[in-house]
């Protein structure tokens, strides 16, 4: 924290007197700190994550006015210093708690609000937007980028999951063709990046993986958070065709397989994988 205080004081003296304290569960890509009561400081945790800083400062001010929910718009860009090697950012603090099944009070309404957000995002003019690359781990590109990792995870999970079914779902996703029309996508529509207030969706955060390309990556949330009815409403509101839906399921499968095969997967990771592989339209709501 002392390093963060020195960075802020040295580059933004107007905020030098504000308290700095770590954010609980601040994420993996960035070290995140509260700055005073209504701002945050985000410092990329590695060089590859630092690639997103300039992108966020360039594009979030343009995206925000065109979206129906609040998103974080940078207040200031910091430079390397005090032993810290990357550019960093100061953002306004957006209140809310990360979405979970239990916290979402109206699953159907939540699904429609999220779909409306993605509809608005996809309607933003993609001209000049950042295409898939290392800056966003190739979100918006082909799933074949992750073919090797998916196979490694399947090998590690042999005997614990239906690997035959998983490979069928994966192959269907790889074979599903994209129409080639570039659209904006967030790239990491996940529970931790969807904030709730009183059980309702109130903000979408962390645009480090955003870009323009195939927006199917943003559909993975349908298999990892939405209820069956919510998933159906989500798909209908987005007017998603079969091929895009299959690719979205593939994104959900790759990510969930990787998590399940990790050394310390979250307690509900296998349940989520079961939902991704389910032949039903969506996950049931936990009791």
CA atoms within 13 A on the CB side of 246: 17
Distance CA 174, CA 179 (A): 14
Return the pLDDT at 26. Answer: 75
Return the pLDDT at 78. Answer: 98
How does residue 3 score in pLDDT terms, banded at 50, 70 and 90? very high
Distance CA 74, CA 132 (A): 22
Return the pLDDT at 283. Answer: 44
Task: Give the residue-averaged pLDDT of 251-262.
Answer: 97
Return the pLDDT at 198. Answer: 97
Distance CA 27, CA 18 (A): 22
| Residue 265 exposed, middle or buried by CB count within 10 Å (0-12, 13-18, 19+) | middle
Return the pLDDT at 25. Answer: 80
Task: Give the residue-averaged pLDDT of 12-19.
Answer: 98
And the tokens for 240?
A: 């998603």
Q: In DSSP terms, which residues pair with 279 in a beta bridge?
A: none
Return the pLDDT at 27. Answer: 78
Task: Give the residue-averaged pLDDT of 220-241.
Answer: 96
| Interstrand relation of 194-197 and 211-213 (parallel, antiparallel or unpaired) | unpaired
Q: What's the gap between Cα 170 and its chain centre?
A: 20
Taking the model in full, what pTM does it have?
0.95
CATH 3.40.50.2000 fits 2-92, yes or no: no
pLDDT of 280 > 70? The answer is no
Closest alpha carbon to 113 in 60, 64, 67? 67
How does residue 245 score in pLDDT terms, banded at 50, 70 and 90? very high
Share of the chain above pLDDT 90, in %: 93
Q: Is 238 helix (H, G, I), strand (E, B) or coil?
A: helix
What are the domain boundaries of the chain? Answer: 2-92, 97-276
pLDDT per residue as tens digits for the range 131-175: 999 999 999 999 999 999 999 999 999 999 999 999 999 999 999
Task: Give the residue-averaged pLDDT of 89-115.
Answer: 97
pLDDT of 287 > 50? The answer is no
Of 3.40.640.10, 3.20.20.450, 3.90.1200.10, 3.50.50.60, the CATH number of 97-276 is 3.90.1200.10
Task: Give the residue-averaged pLDDT of 103-117.
Answer: 98
Q: Is 66 helix (H, G, I), strand (E, B) or coil?
A: helix
């Amino acid at each position: 924290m002392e390093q963060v205080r020195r960075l802020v004081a040295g580059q933004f003296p107007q905020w030098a007197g504000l308290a700095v304290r770590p954010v609980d569960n601040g994420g993996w890509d960035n070290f995140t700190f509260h700055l005073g009561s209504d701002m945050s400081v985000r410092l990329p945790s590695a060089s590859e994550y630092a690639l997103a800083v300039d992108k966020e400062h360039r594009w979030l001010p343009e995206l925000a006015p065109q979206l129906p929910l609040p998103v974080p718009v940078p207040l200031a860009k910091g430079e390397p210093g005090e032993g810290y090697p990357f550019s960093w950012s100061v953002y306004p603090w957006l209140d809310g708690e990360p979405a979970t099944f239990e916290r979402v009070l109206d699953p159907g309404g939540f699904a429609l609000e999220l779909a409306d957000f993605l509809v608005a995002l996809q309607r933003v003019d993609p001209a000049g937007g950042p295409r898939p690359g290392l800056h966003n781990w190739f979100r918006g590109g082909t799933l074949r980028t992750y073919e090797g990792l998916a196979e490694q995870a399947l090998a590690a999970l042999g005997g614990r999951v239906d690997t035959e079914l998983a490979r069928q779902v994966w192959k269907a996703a790889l074979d599903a063709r994209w129409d080639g029309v570039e659209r904006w996508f967030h790239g990491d529509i996940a529970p931790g990046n969807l904030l709730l207030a009183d059980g309702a969706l109130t903000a979408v955060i962390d645009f480090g993986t955003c870009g323009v390309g195939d927006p199917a990556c943003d559909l993975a949330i349908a298999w990892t958070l939405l209820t069956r009815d919510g998933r159906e409403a989500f798909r209908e509101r987005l007017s998603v065709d079969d091929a895009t839906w299959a690719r979205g399921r593939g994104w959900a499968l790759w990510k969930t397989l990787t998590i399940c095969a990790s050394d310390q997967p979250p307690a509900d990771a296998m349940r989520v994988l079961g939902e991704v592989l389910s032949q039903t339209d969506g996950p049931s709501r936990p009791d």
